[in-house]
Amino acid sequence: MSLEGKTAVIIGASGKHNFGVSTARLLAKNGAKVVISGRRQHLLDELAEEIGGIGISCDMNDEASIEALFASAKAQTGRVDVAINSAGGLAGGPIASLTRDQIQPTLDVSFIGALLFFRYAADAMTEGGSVITISSLTARLPGPGLAVYAAARAGIDYAIKVAALEYGPQKIRFNSIAAGLIQTDMTDAMFTGGDPETRFLPHIPLGRMGTTDDIAETALWLADCETSGFINGQLIDVSGGQQNGKLP
């Protein structure tokens, strides 16, 4: 695959070990000019230097910040062809204890911010493109304490279908990747307190844990119009077949 001459904007790449970071490295390796974004500028600067990209801070709680991200990316590179939303946080808690103040931050980032990401990414794609959101297996399989997080992800997974209809005439594709349980900065706590292979592998038909590279490879495929140009409005499970069973 080659993304030579293309610009990819990736938000959620200011961590140390997450989907956004792995995807940024892979897309840069395959020729894309990568604009990485997130809230922690010093981490963006480190990764941008490593991959020869550009780091621009962005707050998914702030519409003006999202709009400015795409305006700046286009001004500095001349185009936007790929946009990947990997931002989000794992909010948990049983419904019986939820308050509006606990619910709203997740909706602001993972639903409202994600919809605005769609809008401003598409505005910047004057020659068509690919918009990808990183979702979660939890939006497909219910688990206790995940009502807010999973519902926000499920809402955006449905919104991509609407976006695919609305932006299809502009040759802009919208797809979502439903990631299985993979160790990242966000999920580190789930991998403590016992052997993860003993706890999780019985629920994964392929018999191995997923990696951030599994998600990055799928994002690369969806980013390349030569290989996935007729894929639009789809939710793609990347969980080793776990979507057919249950959460661990």
Average pLDDT, the chain: 93
Task: Provide, rounded to the nearest whole percent, the portion of the chain with pLDDT above 90.
Answer: 79
Q: What letter represents residue 82's amino acid?
A: V
Domains along the sequence of the chain with CATH = 7-238 (3.40.50.720)
36 near 13, Cβ under 8 Å? yes
pLDDT tier at 195 (50, 70, 90 boundaries)? confident
**The pTM is what?**
0.94
Mention every residue, 6+ apart, whose C-beta is less than 8 A from residue 14: 20, 36, 37, 38, 39, 40, 41, 43, 44, 47, 57
